Amino acid sequence: MVTEARRDSHSGMADDEMWVAEFHGVVHPQGGGWSLQTPVDLNFDDGHWTVVIVNSTFRVVVHGTRPEDVETFKNDVLSIVQGILDSVGFHLGAALSAELTGGFVAPNVLIQRTLTWPEAANRSPDAPPWVDAKTLAPFVNASTIEPQLRRALADLNLALARPDDTAFYAYRAVECVRQYFAQRDGLTEKKDLVKSWQVLRDTLGFTEEELTELGKTATTPRHGGLTPISATERLAAILLARRVVSAFVDYLNSESTPGTG
């Protein structure tokens, strides 16, 4: 299958530098044995891609022009593979997801499997893969109490997993928090929107400017559009949304006793 495709190129391609890269990973749930009948060949302005999916694994080989930002290009690759999997899932009634496990970028960049994004959690890359009970307990307690927090945490999960949609999900996590205060204070009418945002900011300690900036980043994807987003922009959106959710957790734990409703 050969497809002439358009990919929004925001990685900043260096002029006339021919380049080869390989990315590989797995498709979840892995037990499904997901496969494509034939490889998919994609022709972009900046290169040619071949995508192979066999027995719940994928491989992408790229020949083209070397990007200036390999991390952002890696997100591009994951987005394209995820789009193919979403197409397969559409026809099978399956929710499939791609996990990048490694790759190689010529001439000497080895991409290793990363299960976490430490910078997005303000953690050291060398930190152990567990959360101490004292840190985790307030989140478990608050999520037991409040469904809107569970929704916000789920959206932050998706902001990490879906590079193209990071701004959308990060902002929706904040929107979940706003909805809590709107429902609490009876500010559920359209005319109350500005007031509910003010309550969130005043209660949790945020400025209008910083939340408005996140909202601007999310506006286009919220309305079905697609705005290219770099790895740096993704990180900024996630970090701000995390601050809001963390403050919300602190608020819920200060206001309620876990298990009492």
260 within domain boundaries: no
Same domain, 122 and 205: yes
Cα(1)–Cα(41) distance, integer angstroms: 6
From 111, 127, 159, give the residue that closes a domain.
Answer: 111
Q: Are residues 89 and 128 in the same domain?
A: no
Do both 97 and 131 map to the same domain? no
Considering the domain architecture, whether residues 127 and 251 belong to the same structural domain is answered as yes
Q: Which residue, of 58, 79, 111, is where some domain finishes?
A: 111
Residue 103 forms part of a structural domain: yes
- Residue 151 lies inside a defined structural domain of this protein: yes
Same domain flag for 168 and 229: yes
Burial of 149 (0-12, 13-18, 19+ CB in 10 A): buried
Domain span at residue 101 reads: 2-111
Report the C-alpha gap between 32 and 169 in whole angstroms.
27
Phi, psi of 115 (to 5 degrees): -90, -15
Dihedral of the alpha carbons of 195, 196, 199, 200, in degrees to the nearest 10: -140
Q: What is the pLDDT of residues 54-74, one digit of tens each?
A: 999 999 999 988 888 888 888
**Tokens in use for 19?**
């380049």
Q: Does 17 share its domain with 104?
A: yes
- End residue of a domain, out of 111, 146, 174: 111
- pLDDT tens for 191-228 read 999 999 999 999 999 999 989 888 877 766 555 666 67
Structure tokens at 12: 């900043």
Query: What is the C-alpha to C-alpha distance for residues 106 and 119, in angstroms, rounded to an integer?
Result: 26
Q: Does 75 lie in the same domain as 32?
A: yes
User: Domain check: are 172 and 95 in the same one?
Assistant: no
- Residues 123, 146 within the same domain: yes
Q: What is the pLDDT of residue 83?
A: 92
Whether residues 195 and 125 fall in one domain: yes
Phi, psi of 208 (to 5 degrees): -65, -35
Reduce the DSSP state of residue 10 to 3 states and report it.
coil
> What pairing do the DSSP bridges indicate for beta strands 57-67 and 13-28?
antiparallel
Mean pLDDT over each residue of the chain, to the nearest integer? 86
Cβ-based neighbour number of residue 17 at 10 Å: 11
Q: How many domains does the chain have?
A: 2
Same-domain pairing of 85 and 188: no
pLDDT band at residue 154, thresholds of 50, 70 and 90? very high
**Can you tell me the distance from the alpha carbon of 18 to that of 254, in angstroms, rounded to the nearest whole number?**
57
Question: Do 83 and 165 sit in the same domain of this protein?
Answer: no
